[in-house]
Structure 1
Amino acid sequence: MKRAMVVGAVLSTLSVNTTLVANPLWTETPLVEPLSDSAPLALSTLSDLAEAFYPSVVTVRVKGELHRHNPSDTPHAQQSQATGLVISDSGYILTNNHVVAKAKEIDIVFVDQSESPAVVVGRDPETDIALLKIKPDGKKLVAAPLGNSDDVRIGEWVIAIGNPFGLNHTVTAGIVSATGRTQVRPSKEQTYSDFIQTDASINLGNSGGPLINTRGVVIGMNTAINRRGQGIGFAIPSNMIKILLPQLAQGKIVRSWLGIDVEDVTEKEAQAMGFSSTYGAKVTQVRQGSPADRADIAVGDILVDFNGKRITNRDELRWMASTAGPGKTASIGVQRNEKQTTKLVVLEEMPTDSHGGGARGGAEPVDASEFSAVGFRAGESVNGVIVVSVHKGSPASVAGLKTGDLIKKVGQSDVDSIQTLAAILGAIPASASLEITVDRDQKSTFLVIKGRQAKP
């Protein structure tokens, strides 16, 4: 099945130098002697890793807004805790955006139980990354090194350290199960993902903690789990984090737009173009007056490289473009019919009025027209198939479907993926009503969608 993505109003970009070099914001020097690939793994190796990283892993305690269960109750602040990672001796601490997004007060607790208040320096909901800062006040901080996640190998040993369920500095071990998990969407806000998958046990409270390899460096930040499975956890790659850190330290992520919608190239299309493998991103829409429009990129073009690097798929194109920067000129290889050319595109900052309607740098994880007959868009999250937008006045809207709903069943059929949902809907006659069960606010809700629209 083709998977299309709004990229433009869309392909967002971040004004950051993408060269991954040591920076005052972080270090890359291992805390322990790196273990070579050919060296045997001893249990003491994992113990040494855990011991070395203990001082760098912190508890992030958060107090939120005042809340009353009943009007007569005394208001109290909602409290939660997760994990953070010291990345510089000057006091910068890394954690997830969802940990601190609604924080009114943040305290950092170290392994020796000493505490320091923290402030949010910058956060980015679209990658679920946040940067905090404390005043060391003479405290010697141990900075955890951020490694090169591009060097990660599937099957290599890793450990995760965090505070699951308040159990501080819990260490678990496992392997890297997979890399490049772009289809995982932990939340409707998170639109850029390229996760490392691990079977090291990760639970609630591990968010913001490090995933560490035997070379003694952090290769990812633990951020999500699949609640329906066991041994399926996800970490944000360290290279993605390092690209964003300079802007997070400035307190703001600036994105630009390219102005196109793209989808993955199918095997049939790749063969027709004479490609040796399936790669690239096919343009399905060009926004009038956008940077791509002015550069003469057209619907049907297949974009094959970005600034000299091959485009593997639509998600990789989004991320490569997201590191180019507003005002920068991007060189894009374009395959049109049987001819390949290079287009120079001057990227612009994303317009402030472009939010909504699929205009957030590819916020929708699936084709905008995929479920147009029903009137909603959906994508895959770690919890299942999530509704990311509902068209006003559509059959889905009339039936009461809402953004954020988790689609669990259609009729008596379970829905566990976009492919399953598409297959179920395709097998039901257009004249028939759709009986859909969704999870909303931790409650099961039953909806009936009537009067599906004809496909254009």
Structure 2
Amino acid sequence: MRRPAFYSRSPRTPPPAAADAADQAQAHAPASAPAGRAGNAMQLAPLQSFDPRKGPLKKPGWQPGRRSFALLVLLSAALVGGALWAPRPGAKALTQKDIDAAVLRTLQTNTLPSPAAKAADIIRPSVVRVVSYGEEKNTPEARTQKRGRNLAKGKPPEAPNDGGPTGEVERGVGTGVVIVDKGLILTNLHVVAGADKIRVTFFDGLEAIATVTSVQPENDLAVLQAQKVPDDLIPATMRSTADLRPGDQVAAVGFPFGIGPSVSAGVVSGLKRSFRSPEGKQELGNLIQFDAAANPGNSGGPLINMDGEVLGIVTAILNPTQQRTFIGIAFAVPIENAAAAAGSPPF
């Protein structure tokens, strides 16, 4: 929100040129008459014209002076301005109906940018791709992510995972969001848990090794610190969820199956939801439920409003089967909890 403008309360002073002119006029003015006994200045009576044959001449009824001349100029300007702004004969006066029709015609003939597209442009410089390396997991989610990454690369679903550097196995792909310009990144704990090495890729393509600085297991959150950061790194803006309501528009930005950054849009479906992991090992509470498409790889990415502000961290999708595909229900940890994990609650 733009800050309101503040106006100076100091008295207005004349510009230097005007002040100099006033001083010169005062210097050349005739000296005033000496003060009388009562302390009041004495003024000389105005001289009258005199004709020896006819006597004193009559004072003219009006003489053009500075004030009269200024009034005459203002009156002339008003008359000219009125003539210019007066409606031409036969011209139709605009009505509210005419204005509404013009606005409607503009909306019908011009394509306006999508609110989700504008929001994604704002948050995109703060979104990072997070890849963990180490011993490959044998969980349903890990297998689903592997198949998705292979299909995205044009490989058979069960092809060996050789996407990482020599001697490293890419065990998981997720998303993170920069919250401090020194390289502090929020993501999900399950994205980086047990990793031997974590690599993040910034918006400009810069890759860097990252380390875990703090975790919040009860909310499946982890905070990363990148060892290198771009010179012009832009942190995300966080927004309180206190006024968030079901039906509000949101968008999820991330790297589903490593593809991205990808954007999906939807609405808030509910608040204060609970979710239990398919393995039944953990239950998360106070979650934001939303219907913007999310898949393995979106974990740790930002859930944003239409102003590009982060409302939460995408953490889970609901599935009645082991296929781990999106069916319309996803969850995000509110940003209040996520910021607390970083040690700096913003609200």
What is the CA–CA distance in structure 1 between the aligned matches of 2:298 and 2:317, rounded to whole Å? 10
The answer (yes or no) to whether the contact 2:268–2:290 under 8 Å persists in 1 is yes
Deviations along 1:174-222, whole A, 9 cap, x unmatched? 0000011025446645344211000100001000000001233111110
Kindly name which structure, 1 or 2, has the bigger radius of gyration based on alpha carbons: 2
Please name the residue that 1:171 is paired with: 263
Deviation at 1:138, TM superposition (A): 5.6
The answer (yes or no) to whether the contact 1:86–1:93 under 8 Å persists in 2 is yes
Please name the residue that 1:57 is paired with: 127
Please name the residue that 2:116 is paired with: 46
Greater relative contact order (Cα < 8 A, sep 6+): 1
What is the CA–CA distance in structure 2 between the aligned matches of 1:216 and 1:137, rounded to whole Å? 22
Q: 1:208 aligned to 281, 292, 300, which one? A: 300
Please name the residue that 1:199 is paired with: 291
**Cα separation, partners in 2 of 1:169 and 1:179, compared to 1, 3 Å:** same
2:117 partner SS: helix
How many aligned residue pairs are there?
A: 205
1:47 partner SS: helix
What is the CA–CA distance in structure 1 between the aligned matches of 2:307 and 2:338, rounded to whole Å? 19
Q: 2:247 aligned to 115, 137, 155, which one? A: 155
2:198 partner SS: strand
What is the CA–CA distance in structure 2 between the aligned matches of 1:155 and 1:197, rounded to whole Å? 11
Name the TM-score, length of structure 2 as normaliser: 0.54
The answer (yes or no) to whether the contact 1:98–1:125 under 8 Å persists in 2 is no
**Cα separation, partners in 2 of 1:155 and 1:140, compared to 1, 3 Å:** same
Q: CA RMSD in A?
A: 2.8
Aligned-partner residue type, residue 140 of structure 1:
D
Aligned-partner residue type, residue 235 of structure 1:
A
**Cα separation, partners in 2 of 1:221 and 1:79, compared to 1, 3 Å:** same
Q: 2:340 aligned to 205, 225, 243, which one? A: 243
Aligned-partner residue type, residue 335 of structure 2:
S
What percent of counterpart residues are identical?
A: 39
Aligned-partner residue type, residue 114 of structure 2:
S
The answer (yes or no) to whether the contact 2:136–2:171 under 8 Å persists in 1 is no
Name the TM-score, length of structure 1 as normaliser: 0.42
Alignment of 1:97 onto 2:194? no
Aligned-partner residue type, residue 240 of structure 1:
N
Deviation at 1:64, TM superposition (A): 1.6
What is the CA–CA distance in structure 2 between the aligned matches of 1:241 and 1:86, rounded to whole Å? 12
What is the CA–CA distance in structure 1 between the aligned matches of 2:246 and 2:233, rounded to whole Å? 32
Comparing 155-164 and 209-218, the one that deviates more: 209-218
Structure 2 gap ranges (5+): 3-106, 139-165, 321-325
The answer (yes or no) to whether the contact 1:127–1:190 under 8 Å persists in 2 is no
Deviation at 1:65, TM superposition (A): 3.2
Alignment of 1:114 onto 2:184? no
The answer (yes or no) to whether the contact 2:184–2:226 under 8 Å persists in 1 is yes
Aligned-partner residue type, residue 113 of structure 1:
G
**Cα separation, partners in 2 of 1:78 and 1:217, compared to 1, 3 Å:** closer
1:87 partner SS: strand
**Cα separation, partners in 2 of 1:113 and 1:175, compared to 1, 3 Å:** same
- Structure with greater strand share of residues: 1
What is the CA–CA distance in structure 2 between the aligned matches of 1:82 and 1:169, rounded to whole Å? 11
Deviations along 1:127-186, whole A, 9 cap, x unmatched? 100000013456221101121012211101011000001111000000000011025446
Deviations along 1:405-424, whole A, 9 cap, x unmatched? xxxxxxxxxxxxxxxxxxxx
Deviations along 1:47-89, whole A, 9 cap, x unmatched? 1111111111110011023799xxxxx9863532110100110
Q: 2:331 aligned to 200, 216, 234, which one? A: 234
What is the CA–CA distance in structure 1 between the aligned matches of 2:284 and 2:136, rounded to whole Å? 31
Please name the residue that 1:292 is paired with: none
Q: 1:130 aligned to 213, 222, 231, which one? A: 222
The answer (yes or no) to whether the contact 1:162–1:209 under 8 Å persists in 2 is yes
1:126 partner SS: helix
Alignment of 1:87 onto 2:158? no
Deviations along 1:225-247, whole A, 9 cap, x unmatched? 01236111110011121233218
Structure 1 gap ranges (5+): 1-28, 31-39, 69-73, 249-456
**Cα separation, partners in 2 of 1:66 and 1:204, compared to 1, 3 Å:** closer
Deviations along 1:279-327, whole A, 9 cap, x unmatched? xxxxxxxxxxxxxxxxxxxxxxxxxxxxxxxxxxxxxxxxxxxxxxxxx
Please name the residue that 2:155 is paired with: none
Equivalent positions of 1:411-430 (< 5 A) are: none
What is the CA–CA distance in structure 1 between the aligned matches of 2:178 and 2:303, rounded to whole Å? 13
Deviation at 1:113, TM superposition (A): 1.8
Deviation at 1:123, TM superposition (A): 1.2
The answer (yes or no) to whether the contact 2:303–2:332 under 8 Å persists in 1 is yes
The answer (yes or no) to whether the contact 2:247–2:269 under 8 Å persists in 1 is yes
1:146 partner SS: coil
